Amino acid sequence: MANLTDVNESNFDETIASGTTAVDFSAEWCGPCRMMGPILEEVAKDIEGKAKIVKLDIDESQNKALEYQVTSVPTIIIFKDGKEVDRTVGVQDAETLKKLILSV
């Protein structure tokens, strides 16, 4: 299984600056976010070398959650070279998520 990298406000912009990056905006207390953990790891393994998936805890990085108007978790925002190109809210299955990330 691929390990997901945690990002925060200090390394967020650098992390999404180049290539395709899916950012999982989540929280420790969120049940659906915990359900997404194994799904995200599976997808990260499948798309390795094509795109990356990282996690951002909205409680620790509230300013980024506000900046991107994240009002529900889990929210996954897809970035291409630093620009938001798509997003999804709620639990997604692995195939749907993989297609979404690779479509950009």
Q: From the candidates 2, 4, 27, 30, which is the catalytic residue?
A: 30
Residue 46 lies in a domain: yes
Q: Mean pLDDT, 10 residues at a time, over the chain (104 residues)?
A: 84 98 97 96 96 97 98 98 98 97 94
How many structural domains comprise the chain?
A: 1
SS3 per residue for 35-79? HHHHHHHHHHHHCCCCCEEEEEECCCCHHHHHHCCCCCCCEEEEE
Q: From the candidates 7, 22, 23, 33, which is the catalytic residue?
A: 33
CATH number at residue 47: 3.40.30.10
Helix (H, G, I), strand (E, B) or coil at 21: strand
Q: Is 30 a catalytic residue?
A: yes
Residue 33 lies in a domain: yes
Residue 81 lies in a domain: yes
Domain coverage including residue 30 = 5-95
pLDDT confidence of residue 71: 96
pLDDT confidence of residue 1: 44
